[in-house]
Amino acid sequence: MTYWALDAVFLAIVAATGIAALAVASRRRRRARSRAPQRPRRMLASWITSAAVLLVATAIFDNLMIGIGLVGYDAAKISGVFVGIAPLEDFSYAVAAVVFLPSLWVLLGARSAKSPTEGS
């Protein structure tokens, strides 16, 4: 099994979770009838920034770990495309985290800052 085949299993789960989260978020917006135009832009900007930071951090630390010999890859199972000395397949986990964690947040429901026992 190649690293891309292994990644495909996890990325399929992540994609399904992301699609479910988009559907839930859309349904919540329609139900609440809130049409705040700034919030989606802010959330998108936050997501893009988080993705960029995570991918840069992944590039730096994966190259360091591979460079010092902490992690190794079977050359027959990688695509041969590298970012530095890190195979491209290594970045799929960062992409999965950027999509999966916010999707779980939406699906599980964000909790309000006030606990149910606090008064209004």
**How far is residue 12's CA from residue 5's CA, in Å, rounded to a whole number?**
11
Q: Is the pTM of this model over 0.85?
A: no
Q: What is the distance between the alpha carbons of residues 24 and 102, in angstroms, rounded to a whole number?
A: 12
Confidence at residue 113, expressed as pLDDT on a 0 to 100 scale = 46
Cβ-in-10-Å burial (0-12, 13-18, 19+) of 77 comes to: middle
Strands (E), 1-120: 82-83, 86-87
Give 114 or 109, the one with higher predicted confidence.
109
What does the block give as tokens for 52?
A: 């960029």
Bridge partners for 83 per DSSP: 86
pLDDT in tens, 9-28: 999 999 999 999 999 988 88
